[in-house]
Amino acid sequence: PDVIIEAQFDDNGAEHGQDHLQDTLTDDIKKLSLDTGEKGKAAGLTGVHRTKQDEGHKVNDARLLPDEFLQRTAKVVYILEKKHSRAATGFIKLLADRNSELFKRCAMFSPVDHRVPRVYVPLADCPPNFVTRPEAYSQMLFICRIVDWKEDSNFASGQLSKSLGQAGEIDPESEGILTEYGVDFSDFSPEVLECLPQNLPWVISPGELAKRRDLR
């Protein structure tokens, strides 16, 4: 079918001058060439007529483009070092599809930190009455560790480590943050405690005060 390209030279075009009108016509010709080219191939035509100006603007080979117009791409092939502890604090809930086989085996763990993906956890790691009373654990914080993430799965796989307690309380929230960042907050060993002064109350000796700068 015949196509008519109508260029509207209004006040806006007059402000930009003749160059603006020429660019508009060039873009329209380029679109027309692409459309008619596809239609010509479908109809079994031997060729499509294009203008020299259209040939200059249409670049199909990315190697002909300048480097500043190219976006570099890459693919991760190996993880050298795992910086994240793979532990997260969050909540557990039942899967939405109750008729699936996965519903009978796993629950969904939703981390508080949204940078961490959601995780499938075994129902065996959940409290015994979680399936019958999931609402009782809706505000209970848990620690989950990610153990795997298969390429064909939208969610990672993990294991529940422990239950922290109610969300919003100081102790569970603090323990969750320390665990996520891999901070060892366990009790000091007897060997460490033996390094401390044993005679209490302990005071700084005059000799130490004389050779030290007092920053208290």
- pLDDT confidence of residue 137: 93
Strands 156-166 and 119-122 turn out to be parallel
In a domain, 214, yes or no: no
**Identity of the amino acid at 149:** W
Does 121 reside within a domain? yes
3-class DSSP assignment, residue 142: strand
* pLDDT tens column, 111-131: 999 999 999 999 999 999 999
pLDDT at 1 over 60: no
91: domain CATH number is 2.40.50.700
* Mean pLDDT score, 176-201: 90
At 62, the pLDDT band (50, 70, 90 cuts) reads: confident
Q: Do the domain assignments include residue 69? A: no
Residue 126 lies in a domain: yes
Q: Decide: pTM greater than 0.75.
A: no
What is the band of 49 on the pLDDT scale with cuts at 50, 70, 90? low
Q: Indicate whether 144 belongs to any domain.
A: yes
Number of domains in the chain: 1
107 in any annotated domain: yes
| Domain-located, residue 100 | yes
Report if residue 10 sits inside a domain. no
The total of other beta-carbon atoms located within 10 Å of residue 136's CB is: 11
- Element (H or E) spanning 109, and its range? strand 106-111
